[in-house]
Amino acid sequence: MVECYRRNERDNWELVNAIGEVSGAAAEGSLVLDGVGLEIALAQVYEDVVFPNESEVL
């Protein structure tokens, strides 16, 4: 999941969540940033990120 703040039609900031479905080792879904003309797969956002195992979390 990626949390992104965007301005709405009333010029207020609102929180938008991009949520992907986990399929094997990669998440399916994307984050769209219209202001800069970018759509990026969530798998790319988290590329090279190593998440700890549940036993490693305090």
Domain boundaries, the chain: 2-56
Instruction: Please choose, from the candidates 14, 41, 20, 16, the residue with its C-alpha nearest in 3D space to the C-alpha of residue 30.
Output: 41
Which residue's entry shows tokens 């965007």? 6
pTM of the predicted structure, to 2 decimals: 0.58
With beta carbons less than 8 A apart as the criterion, state whether 26 and 43 touch. yes
Distance of alpha carbon 15 from alpha carbon 5, whole angstroms:
5
Mean pLDDT by 10 residues, the chain (58 residues): 89 87 61 87 85 74
**Does residue 56 sit in helix, strand or coil?**
helix
